[in-house]
Every structure is written in structure tokens, then in C-alpha cells.
Amino acid sequence: MGEMKVNEKEIVVPGETLAEGMDYLPSYGTHRAGDKILASRLGLVSVEGKVIKLVPLSGVYQPKRGDTIIGQVVEILLSGWRISTNSAYPAVLNMKDATSEFIARGADLSKYIAIGDYVIAQIINVTSQKLVDLTMKGPGLRKLKGGRIINVNANKVPRIIGKQGSMVSMIKDYTACRILVGQNGIVWIQGDDPNKELLAVETIKKIEREAHFVGLTDRIKNFLDANKAGITKLS
């Protein structure tokens, strides 16, 4: 009979034995060695039925198909743009996938999206060699004008968004800011009141710091209530 060696939600280190026996199945972040299941990275243990997986706590973003990311244009190519993705691999946004507008042959692409601009786009494909393709055709996908960009740990993005976007909509309600969170850990914030914009920045930093605390939503709600009028200085 198989036996778990660690508890659910426990933090495990690489090489640590998670379970013995053949009753459990290794999933993300784990591997089987003989009749044991070992951790292959640092993470939180999560057991779903017979499947053991690890929830990553740290690490650089790795592009995945279907992710919506925010990236900066770093280079203009013959028929598109190269976008930095906050990961080891830059992505390509093809002209065809960028806009439904007609772009004449040989047109200056920087008139549409210039170097240094930020875009919110979706990953349509990642090859085995990690060539990443993006699209800007889809609801909400566009070039970002104005606002400010902050970087957060990509593994904390689900906490910032919350269940069905509850966390981010709470911040939006309190700060009257427009906020977009890319799965690659880049967040775009735009507000009319600079003090409230700073409050949004601080709140997101707080979520990132306290992502694995219990009662995160209440803590954030209290923090927002205490600073309703916005803040004037970043800590």
C-alpha cells in the first residue's frame, strides 16, 4: 500500500521523498525513482486524488501556449515585432496577428507599434526550441498607452488575480485604476489619481509579498480600507 511521506501544502526541497509505493502518480514538479515519488523542484505539495504535484513558489516565467502576457517591443522585424516576455525567450508578434488594419508592403511598422511600446498579447504557440508566437487578435488584446508597468514574481500572478478575478477587481474598485496583469509577471496600471495609482502599486506588491499567508483577501481589504484616499509615497 502506498504511503504519503509529506503533508499537503508542505514546502518540499528537490530530491525529497513525497510518497512511497505505486499507488500515487507523479505530476508537475515530481518524478518517480524506483517505487518512490521525489520532488524535482522547490514547491508546495498538492495532492488531487492519486496525483501528486508541486505548486512552484519561485522561478523565472516560462512561456506557455494560451497565456496572456504583457511585453515590450524590443525590435522591429521584416514583418512584425520582437517582444521581450520577461523570460529567457523573446516572442514574435507577426503583422498578420497584430492588427486587422491594412498595412501596405514596405510600410514603416513603427507607425503602428514602436520600439519601447508595451502590448498585451496572447501566446499562440511555443515550439520545442522555445520560439514564441503572439497574437493581438482577441478581446482586450491591444497596445498599451500610458500607465505604469511594474514587475512581480510570475508565480504569484494567480494570487494577484484571485478567484475569478476577485482580488484584482477589488483593487480596481478601491483605486479606480485600470489594471492588467500579464501571466509573465508584468502588471500595467493606469489611474487618473496618482495617489490611488500608487496605492494600487503598493497593494500588488503587498499581495506578492504575502501571497502564501492565510486570509490574504481580508488583509488586502483592510489595507485598502486603511488607505482609501490613496498614498503619496511608495514604501
Partner 1 sequence: MTYDKRFDGRKFDETRHMEAKAGVIKRAAGSGWFKIGNTEAYAAVYGPREMYPRFLQNPEKGVLRCHYNMMPFSSAGDRVRPGPSRRSKEISMVTERALRPVVDLSEYPNAVVDVFIELPQTDAGTRCAGICAASIALADAGISMSDLVCSISAGKVEDTMLLDLTYEEDSHEMGVDIPMAMLHNSKQISLLQMDGELPPEDLKRAIELVKKGCDQIYEVQKQALKNRFNETKD
Query: Which of 23, 50, 51, 59 lies at the binding interface for partner 1 (CB under 8 A)?
Result: 59
In angstroms, give the least distance from the CB of 229 to partner 1. Answer: 28
The span from the CA of 2 to the CA of 176, in Å, is 52
Query: Which of 6, 27, 41, 46 lies at the binding interface for partner 1 (CB under 8 A)?
Result: 41
- Maximum pairwise Cα distance, the chain: 68
Site string for partner 1, 134-163 (x = CB under 8 A): ---------------------x--------
DSSP labels, 180-205: EE-TTSEEEEEESSHHHHHHHHHHHH
In angstroms, give the least distance from the CB of 202 to partner 1. Answer: 17
Query: Which of 138, 213, 218, 228 lies at the binding interface for partner 1 (CB under 8 A)?
Result: 213
Query: Which of 6, 25, 27, 31 lies at the binding interface for partner 1 (CB under 8 A)?
Result: 31
Query: Is the backbone of residue 112 left (phi > 0), alpha (psi -120 to 50) or beta?
Result: alpha
Cell of 109: 511598422
In angstroms, give the least distance from the CB of 105 to partner 1. Answer: 30
In angstroms, give the least distance from the CB of 17 to partner 1. Answer: 8
Q: Is 60 in the site for partner 1 (CB under 8 A)?
A: yes
Q: Label the pairing between strands 91-94 and 30-33.
A: unpaired
Q: What is the DSSP letter of 87?
A: B
Q: Is 74 in the site for partner 1 (CB under 8 A)?
A: no
Stretch that binds partner 1, among 35-43, 65-73, 137-145, 200-208 (CB under 8 A): 35-43
Query: Which of 82, 148, 195, 210 lies at the binding interface for partner 1 (CB under 8 A)?
Result: 210
Q: Is 62 in the site for partner 1 (CB under 8 A)?
A: yes
CA angle 171, 173, 174 (to 5 degrees): 65
- What are 132's strand-pairing partners? 91, 126
Query: Which of 50, 96, 137, 212 lies at the binding interface for partner 1 (CB under 8 A)?
Result: 212
Q: In what order do the strands lie in the sheet with 3-4?
A: 3-4, 17-20, 36-39, 30-33
In angstroms, give the least distance from the CB of 167 to partner 1. Answer: 18
Q: What is the DSSP letter of 174?
A: H
> Nearest-CA neighbor of 168 among 230, 101, 217, 102?
217
Other CB atoms closer than 10 Å to residue 113's CB: what's the count?
A: 21
In angstroms, give the least distance from the CB of 191 to partner 1. Answer: 27
Name residues contacting partner 1, limited to 80-119 (CB under 8 A): 87-90
Give the containing element (helix H, strand E) for 220: helix 216-226
| Binding footprint of partner 1 on the chain (CB under 8 A) | 11, 13-16, 29, 31, 33, 38, 40-43, 56-60, 62, 87-90, 128-130, 155, 209-210, 212-215
